[in-house]
Structure formats: C-alpha cells, structure tokens
Structure 1
Amino acid sequence: MLFQWGLRKKQQEGTIQLAMGEDKSGQAQDVPKEPLDTALDVNIRIIQKTTGNSSDVVIRRFTLGQERTISAVLIFTDGLADEKNVYEFLLEPLLAANIPFSLPPNDIFTFVEQKLAAVGGVQRVTQWFDLFLSLMSGATIILMDGVPIALSASTKGGEHRSIQEPATQLAIRGPREGFTESIRTNTAMIRRRIKNPNLWLETMKIGEVTQTDVAIMYIKGIANDEIVEEVKKRLRRIHIDSILESGYIEQLIEDQTFTTFPTTYHTERPDVVAANLLEGRVAVLVDGTPFVLLAPSVFIQFFQAVEDYYARFDIATALRFLRVLVFFISIVAPSIYVAVTTFHQEMIPTQLVIAIAAQREAVPFPAFVEAVIMEVTFEILREAGVRLPRAIGQAVSIVGALVIGQAAVEAGFVSSAMVIVVSITAIASFATPSFAIAISARLIRFLLMFLAALFGFYGIIMGILWMTIHLCSLRSFGVPYMSPLAPFIPSNFGDTIFRVPTWAFKDRPRLMNQTNIIREGENQRPQPPDQDKKKNEEEQQ
C-alpha cells in the first residue's frame, strides 16, 4: 500500500500535529486520507511541517487579483519544476487577474483553473497524499484562502542529461542517440520511430517511498494481450520501498530466479526498442535510468547486434556465427585445456605435448589450480578496470595484462600456454554483444573447469548437457527461452543464428502473437528491370 498522510488537529496553542497513526503497540499504521483545510495558514504549516522546512520547497505568498484581493500561495520544488514557466505562466497571470466581486470563493477557484492557469496538466487536488505526490513530481501547487482545494499545474522541468550515443551498445552503422534518465524523453524517442496511434503507453507508480514512474509500452494489435496482461500483473504485484533502476524491476518480474541466464533483455537504444515492439514485445521504462526492459526475451536475442539489420544478410549471418562461436569458446576454452592436460594427453599432437610439458615442468600447481588462479586474477583486473576512472582503468588493464602475466610466467606460477588460453577466453567474452549473457559465461566457465578437473571431457559434456537442459526449461513470460530453436519454428528460424534477407522477413515471431504475424507484403524481393520490356518501350518511343 502507498503511504497515507494522516492529520490530527489539536487546538493546543493553535498548532496542527501530523501523525502517521499509531496502534496500541506503538507501531506506525496507515490512517485514512484527510482533506485539505480551508484556512490557508493551516495548510502552509502542514506543508512546512511535512517537508521539514526544506529549503528547496519554495513557498511564494501573493495576493490574487488587483481590485478584489485574495490571499494565495504558490508552492513548487526547486530543481524539479521549470522556474521560468512557474513565474511566467502562473504567477504573472494570477497577479494581474481582475476578479469580479460577485464571485464566491469556490467560483473564484474555478475561474483561476479555467482562465488563469496557462499551463497543461491542471487538475484539482483534495487529499494531502495527492498534493505531496504532485509537489515532489515537479508540479506547482496553488492554494487559496477559504478553499479546501488545491490546484496542481504541470511545470516539470529541471536539468536533464542530453541525448548522447549509448555507451554500452555501440554500433558502426545506425542511429547515434540513446535513452536518457528522463522517462518522457525516452517515450518521445520511441514515438518518433513508430508514428502510430496503436502504440499505447500505460504509466504506474511503483515504490512506496520513491514513487517511481514506471511505464509499459506496446503496440495494440501486434503485442499478445495475454503477455501484456501478465506484465501488468507482475508490475502491480511489486510492493517495495524503492525503485531506483530498471534492474529492481527486472529481478522482481522474471520467471526464474535461480539461473545465471538473463530472461529479460535490457537496452539503451531507441531503435532496438522500436524493432522489438514491432515484433510484439512489451517495453518497460523506468524513470531515472536509460535502460529499458524488453519482454519476453529469448536466448538467441542476446547474440543479435543492432547493425545486423542494417547490413547485408550474408555479412550479418557470418558475424552471428562468430558471436556464437566466441561465446562457446569463452565457456569451454579453460576447461578443455584442463581436461586435455590432465586426462587426455593422447589427443594432443606429440610436439605440442612436449612443448606444454616443458612449460609446465616448473609450475608447482595442477592445471585446474593454475586455471583458477589465472581466471580469478583476470576477473580482478577486469573489475578494477571497470570501477576505476577511465584513464586509470585502462592503465591498470595494460599493466595487469603485460607486467603481471609476464612476471607470473617467469616466476613459474603459470605456464605460457595457460596465459594464451586465458587471453583468448577474455577476448572472446568481450566479443559477446550483450553484457548480461557475457556474465553468465563467466560463471559457467568455473563450473565447467571444476567438472573437467574431475572427469575430463566427460565432465565438460555433462556440464554442457546440463546447461542445454536448463536453457530449454526456462521461460520468459511464458515464452520458451530457446524458441524458435526449441520448440523449432521453421518460419522464424531465419532470424536466429542465420539472418535471412530483409525481403524474406515475412512473419513475426509466432510465440509473441498468433493473430497479427504478417509484417511485409508479397514479392518484396528486389529484381532488375525486365530488359525485353525496357527495349520494347524504347522502340515504341
């Protein structure tokens, strides 16, 4: 439940005491909402008491009208409201207003609402909870003496980060703009790409303390209604104090919690969100973060880069094959080295075996311990490079890779072959487009190394089989995680490891929507002009 503000009036010394309400045990409990008072001074004292006389809550007293004057107050939060709009479109018209003497106080309030408030989003507020929610959201509150109603005018503003190129999803070809921390800026960037009234947006507030704006966006008629309702149901089920980033939402609405694989896709590119909305997915936008969630998500989606759809299909297919290959390498490369050097030396060419044996002769640790040391060291260096400032982080990465690696080999802690294997694994993990799936590979890598140290190649096969079974058991909002590979859907197979030409994208993903699956017309394949027809036209001319 939302926090509700309770008022308990006391006549002692003419003050008003604010209370949340207490039960017999002394614990705080919810109390019913209370209406505003008719006395302007009483309402001002309640606002000052509730906000702790915060210096950023601006309370501007003024006299409404010129001939007939009424005491009023204008309240807004500095930094959340656009101060220029507050003074230019609210305060100046109110000061210059000419109010007829025949109007009673309630009619004066209607006069102000309809003729003087020259901004959008004007609404009446009668409850304290709604008043404080509007005030802390950037609206301006107008209170008049003798009227137990407040006027909330939309004056949201303040400083926001400008639209910039996304830092986590760089593309060689494509738009250069990315989402910002403003939810309205983000929805506008999506609407610029999909100019259709069927693009619906529904907003709710989640977080009992933060009251964070969370919006879901989908295309009516393309998105599956059952999936949309499931997303709404999971969002309404959230009862938490704070929502500070979309990661909070992601962890509270996912199907399976005990898995290393992400079942919800996140992106900060508007073109990626628009493309997924056109496939029937639902976007979840959270105010205060540039990362937008997309649901449902499938496994193969994390290996697709945005420029795959901007480049030729043969180039995109080759790059996707490469990404899947490097993902597999990042998982099994260290475990294969451990298995081969521990159990299966006969599978290595003789000269290579002799070279590896000569390198490992001075190493005091078994291959598994050697691999764990190098992998943990690399993870430490990677975290240090990420957390430190950019210039220092790059220097730490270079020093760690060159100096520490070379010193470890010369000191006899690890072999040169292990350094090569770990380096290839690190580069392969960086080549994965999605950071979320790359983290999953980092964790599974240690499990496969442990199984390889116990059972050799048999342990690696056991681990890969377990991983495959686990992937096939996952769901994302009811959609199989491995679709369209398992279950196999031939009509959607052209956008998996392969990428068919754009003119062959005839059907949307069938598990997203069963009703509106056609997304392009017939005969979209480009063809050269008919030479005979062109020759006849030239002869007739």
Structure 2
Amino acid sequence: MFTDCSDVVIRPFQLETGIPAVAVFVDGLVNTELLENALENIMVFEGGEVDIERIQLRNLSVSQIKAVDNYGDLLNSMLSGDTALLVEGNTKALLLGLRGAQTRSVGEPETETVIRGPREGFIENLRTNTSLVRRKIKTPRLKMKPLVIGKHSNTNVVVAYLEGISDPELVKETVARLKKINIDTVLESGYLEEYIQDSAFSPFPQVQYTERPDAVAAALAQGRIAIFTDGTPMVLLVPTTFSHLLQATEDYYERFQMGTLIRWLRYLFLLLSILTPGLYVAISTFHQELLPTTLLLSIAAAREAIPFPAVVEALIMEIIFEALREAGIRLPKAVGSAVSILGALVVGQAAVQAGIVSAPMVIVVSITGIASFTIPHYNGAIALRMLRFPIIIAASLFGVYGILIGGMIIVGHMANLRSFGVPYLAPVGPMSLGDLKDVLWRAPIWAMNKRPSFLDVPDITRQGTELKSIIKAQGGFRDAQSLDRGDENGKEAEHDHPVGKEPS
C-alpha cells in the first residue's frame, strides 16, 4: 500500500522474548525522540508479554493511546501523525499519540489587528487552535465534535458549541451538512463554507470567518457554532447575519461611547463605499441642478477636455483601483504597500494630466476606496466592492432613480437571505428591539444581559444586574467591605421578609 512513499517509515523490531513487532509512522509528523523512548520501553520488557492491551497498560508511558481493529482507522490516524504499533499474535493495533509536526508559533493575527485586546491568533494546527479557545472558556459544556472530511485529504474538522446555550437543532443541522460533503480534498475552510452556506449565488457571505480566539469565544457565548479546520487559521462561525460583518472584537474592549461612534462611522462609510461613484455619475449626467452653481462650474471645467462620459470614467478608475489593491496584496510585504499607494497616486495624477479622467473622479474613487477599508471583515468588504459596479451602471442609465431601484433590489435580496435558518438582516428585519442595543449602537456590557433572540438559544440570560443596582443604590464611592456588607444585609433582608413586602 505504501509503495513509493518515501516518507512512510516501517520499523520492524523484536520484543525481549523474540516476538516480532513493527512500528509504522510518517516521517515529519511524529516526534521521533518520544517514539524512540516508547519503543525502548517495549523492547526491554521482560516476561514474554504478547497481549497488545497488557502492553498498552504496563509498558508504554504515552499519554494518548488507542486500540483499533481495522485498517481504515489505523491508516487515517497514522497519516494524521500517530504511530501504529503491531505485535505478532494480536488482532488489534495500538495508535500512539506522538505527533510532532513543525508548526509556526502563535502570533498576532494579520487580518484582524486591534489596539486593545489579545495579541494571539490561530495557526494551522487544529489542536493548538482548539486549546486557545479552551483556555478562554473553561467549562465542560464546551463540546468539540470531531469529523473527517475529504476522501483523499482526510481533513480533521471540529464542530465546537456550548451545550445548554447553542440551539440543539442548529448543532444537528451543522453537523448534518458537514457530513454530507463528498469531496476529494479539503485544503482550507473556504471549501466547507461554499458547501454549507444557504445561498451559494449571493454576493453576501452567510458564513463569518475569523482567526481570533476571543472572537470565537464571544460567538460561542452568544449561542453560535464554530467550525475548526485542520491546516488553516481561519475558523468559521455560523449562523451569520449582516450586522456581524460590521462588528469588530475591539468594539467591546473600548468604552461603549467609542464603540458606538466607530460603529456609526462604519454605517456611514458603508453607504459611501457603495453609492459614492454612482451618485457622482447620476448627478453629473442627469441631475446637475442638485449641485451648487460654483461646484457645478468647477466640475464642468474639470470635465471639459475629458473624451469619455462619466460612467466610463468611473469604471476605468474603479477597475484600476481594484487592480492596484490586488497587486498590493499579492506582492511581497516590503514593496506591496508602497506599490499600491504610489501606484494610485502616480496613475491618478498621470491620468488627470493626460486628460483621460477628471480630478473630481479621482477624489470620488479615493473616498470610495478608503470607505471600503473601514469594513472589519474582508469578505463583507468584497461583497460591497462587487455591488459598486452594477450601481454605477444603473446610475448611468436611470440616474438617481437607478440607484434607488438598485438599493431596493439589494435590500430585498438581503431580506430573503437566510444563514442556517436565521434571517440575514436580523435583528432589524424582522425587528427585535431588545437586540438593537448591539446593532444600531453598542450598549454597555452590563446592559447586554440577554443573548440575541434570533438565535433561538435555550438559555437567553447571559449575566446578572446586581452590581450596577448596588452601585446605583449607594449613590457614590464605597469601599469593598461596605459593598460586601450591603450584599450580606440584602440577602438577610431577603430571607427575613416575604417576597413582595418591603421592610420598614
């Protein structure tokens, strides 16, 4: 079976009594030092022991050992990094958990940087990623259900959720969708995302991904489900609504006033990133009366020598800007940022001097590009960048009416979307007033004492309100001892007096 597999090592040896045995492992996936110690313990054992289960109990100082009786389980585990141990005269084999593949160390995420918050991010090792979340949620209710997907890749996948908080039906649906995936290889979580999302042809992402353990822990505490995939630092979160794509983990680490202001800025620049080029095309082509006379004369003077209509101008600059942004991402980091910034400046200035585009159009495209950078999640920003082009075309055909019709179509499409049965526009549509405190603004942490109702979680209460009530009742500063005494007196009064009756 392993002919021409140079990395597979088959190591035959004999026990102390001359009984033949063999160890099979993949070089590079096993900690060879630990393996040598384990084999040494078996070789020098005296007493003529041949039973594989007694060897497991008495001879091996390995923390993870599993006995299997079929080649399918043996091969899957061995190719994942375990060592297979076979001894003559036994119908079972032992799998020794001596994995030691080289992985990069835990570092700060590059796609989700923050000023205030943890500086650790996921890596490509599955068990390291699950341990980072386990360190933040130290409860046996955190369940991690293992799956294997891919006929050839046999990729390990873990579905994580909080028992008693996540909807059991949602967990069953997630696991069922993953089990039905029939594919040769799974190299990244994006493979799974395209299979399990509700609407594959929608430009809006219905699955959120992150490489921050604190973001996963917060999502699990809400009642959502995390999907870990071996070989990638990106963890999928379901279900996902549009409001999740506009929220960043740092919103909850700063004071709620700052979090609310930043969130409002995101909403403003979200509209600018979609509508600004279309509005410029519509107003300069059909609705010049909407502009002040001075501004209108300035734009007309700038476009006097331009040979193209405004829509062609906008499409040229948008395509060039997208190409420069993509080039900046793909080039090495040392030159990527310089090329993207200098390229935009040089190309924009040269295009204006050559009379191909006007200076106002360069300003509009620059504002649009900056606005799209304010979206916290990359897949959400990509959706808005794609929708910008049909809005520009609609504006060139029907003016502002085209923009309104395009916006209505987009909102209607979003209202029809579902992510694992959850409305994509929740809690705005359908309206849930209690959940708006984490959408339209960022309420204080102590005020968000309920989990989102649209997730249909069994346990809706997430925290108590005793501390804020005590501080408000005291009306000022008290030391810790008086706070404790007040708490104890409150409990005694509650015990001495019936519920509903106030002590005099």
User: Could you tell me the TM-score, scaled by structure 1's length?
Assistant: 0.86
Cα distance, 1:528 vs. partner? Answer: 8.1
Per-residue Cα deviation, 1:64-86 (whole angstroms, up to 9, x for no partner): 11xx2212221211111111111
Q: Does 1:83 align with 2:32?
A: yes
Pick from 465, 477, 493: which aligns with 1:522? 465
Pick from 19, 35, 41: which aligns with 1:70? 19
Indicate the residue corresponding to 1:43 in structure 2.
none
Pick from 146, 155, 174: which aligns with 1:212? 155
Q: Does 1:93 align with 2:41?
A: yes
Aligned length: 478
Instruction: Tell whether the 8 Å contact from 1:300 to 1:497 is kept in structure 2 after alignment.
Output: no
Q: Does 1:128 align with 2:71?
A: yes
Per-residue Cα deviation, 1:418-447 (whole angstroms, up to 9, x for no partner): 000000000111111111110011110000
Pick from 171, 175, 183: which aligns with 1:232? 175
Cα distance, 1:507 vs. partner? Answer: 0.7
- C-alpha distance in 2, partners of 1:456/1:533? 63
Q: Does 1:60 align with 2:11?
A: yes
- C-alpha distance in 1, partners of 2:475/2:39? 70
Per-residue Cα deviation, 1:355-388 (whole angstroms, up to 9, x for no partner): 1111101100000000000000111111111111
Per-residue Cα deviation, 1:244-269 (whole angstroms, up to 9, x for no partner): 10000100000111110001110000
Indicate the residue corresponding to 2:319 in structure 1.
376
- C-alpha distance in 2, partners of 1:146/1:53? 28
Per-residue Cα deviation, 1:97-120 (whole angstroms, up to 9, x for no partner): 1023xx6x5x3x333222112213
Instruction: Tell whether the 8 Å contact from 1:222 to 1:513 is kept in structure 2 after alignment.
Output: no
- C-alpha distance in 2, partners of 1:203/1:241? 18
Q: Which ranges of structure 2 fall in alignment gaps of 5 or more residues? A: 483-504
Cα distance, 1:55 vs. partner? Answer: 2.2
Indicate the residue corresponding to 1:433 in structure 2.
376
Indicate the residue corresponding to 1:287 in structure 2.
230
Cα distance, 1:400 vs. partner? Answer: 1.3
Indicate the residue corresponding to 1:8 in structure 2.
none
Q: Does 1:482 align with 2:425?
A: yes
Residue 453 of structure 2 aligns to a residue in which SS?
coil
Question: In structure 2, do the counterparts of structure 1 residues 524 and 505 end up closer, same or farther at CA, with 3 Å as the change threshold?
Answer: farther
Instruction: Tell whether the 8 Å contact from 1:117 to 1:153 is kept in structure 2 after alignment.
Output: no
- C-alpha distance in 2, partners of 1:286/1:123? 23
Indicate the residue corresponding to 2:260 in structure 1.
317
Residue 454 of structure 2 aligns to a residue in which SS?
coil
Pick from 211, 223, 227: which aligns with 1:268? 211
Indicate the residue corresponding to 2:85 in structure 1.
142
Question: In structure 2, do the counterparts of structure 1 residues 515 and 135 end up closer, same or farther at CA, with 3 Å as the change threshold?
Answer: closer
Residue 294 of structure 1 aligns to a residue in which SS?
strand
Residue 374 of structure 1 aligns to a residue in which SS?
helix
- C-alpha distance in 2, partners of 1:401/1:71? 70
Cα distance, 1:141 vs. partner? Answer: 1.2
Residue 493 of structure 1 aligns to a residue in which SS?
helix
Instruction: Tell whether the 8 Å contact from 1:326 to 1:429 is kept in structure 2 after alignment.
Output: yes
Residue 200 of structure 1 aligns to a residue in which SS?
strand
Per-residue Cα deviation, 1:471-509 (whole angstroms, up to 9, x for no partner): 111101001111111111111110002011111011101
Indicate the residue corresponding to 1:165 in structure 2.
108
Per-residue Cα deviation, 1:370-421 (whole angstroms, up to 9, x for no partner): 0000000111111111111112212321331121110100000000000000
Q: Does 1:188 align with 2:188?
A: no
Per-residue Cα deviation, 1:452-485 (whole angstroms, up to 9, x for no partner): 0000000000011111111111101001111111
- C-alpha distance in 2, partners of 1:98/1:446? 77
Paired letter, 1:477: F
Indicate the residue corresponding to 2:356 in structure 1.
413
Paired letter, 1:64: L
Instruction: Tell whether the 8 Å contact from 2:223 to 2:457 is kept in structure 1 after alignment.
Output: no
Aligned residue runs from structure 1 range 29-44, under 5 A? none
Instruction: Tell whether the 8 Å contact from 1:452 to 1:459 is kept in structure 2 after alignment.
Output: yes
Per-residue Cα deviation, 1:210-243 (whole angstroms, up to 9, x for no partner): 0000110000000011111110111111111111
- C-alpha distance in 1, partners of 2:372/2:101? 40
Residue 318 of structure 2 aligns to a residue in which SS?
helix
Paired letter, 1:94: I
Residue 511 of structure 1 aligns to a residue in which SS?
helix
Per-residue Cα deviation, 1:302-336 (whole angstroms, up to 9, x for no partner): 11111111111111001000011111100000000
Q: Does 1:334 align with 2:277?
A: yes
Paired letter, 1:93: N
Per-residue Cα deviation, 1:13-34 (whole angstroms, up to 9, x for no partner): xxxxxxxxxxxxxxxxxxxxxx
Instruction: Tell whether the 8 Å contact from 1:182 to 1:287 is kept in structure 2 after alignment.
Output: yes
Instruction: Tell whether the 8 Å contact from 1:503 to 1:524 is kept in structure 2 after alignment.
Output: no
Residue 394 of structure 2 aligns to a residue in which SS?
helix
- C-alpha distance in 1, partners of 2:477/2:366? 59
Cα distance, 1:521 vs. partner? Answer: 1.1
Moved more, 110-119 or 205-214: 110-119
Question: In structure 2, do the counterparts of structure 1 residues 209 and 415 end up closer, same or farther at CA, with 3 Å as the change threshold?
Answer: same
Cα distance, 1:154 vs. partner? Answer: 1.3
Q: Does 1:343 align with 2:286?
A: yes
Aligned-residue sequence identity (percent) comes to 46
Instruction: Tell whether the 8 Å contact from 1:254 to 1:477 is kept in structure 2 after alignment.
Output: yes
Question: In structure 2, do the counterparts of structure 1 residues 234 and 531 end up closer, same or farther at CA, with 3 Å as the change threshold?
Answer: closer
Indicate the residue corresponding to 1:250 in structure 2.
193
Instruction: Tell whether the 8 Å contact from 2:272 to 2:368 is kept in structure 1 after alignment.
Output: yes
Larger radius of gyration: 1
Paired letter, 1:235: L
Residue 123 of structure 1 aligns to a residue in which SS?
strand
Cα distance, 1:124 vs. partner? Answer: 2.4
Cα distance, 1:139 vs. partner? Answer: 0.9
Question: In structure 2, do the counterparts of structure 1 residues 532 and 195 end up closer, same or farther at CA, with 3 Å as the change threshold?
Answer: closer
- C-alpha distance in 2, partners of 1:253/1:282? 13
Q: Does 1:445 align with 2:393?
A: no
Q: Which ranges of structure 1 fall in alignment gaps of 5 or more residues? A: 1-49
- C-alpha distance in 2, partners of 1:227/1:144? 44
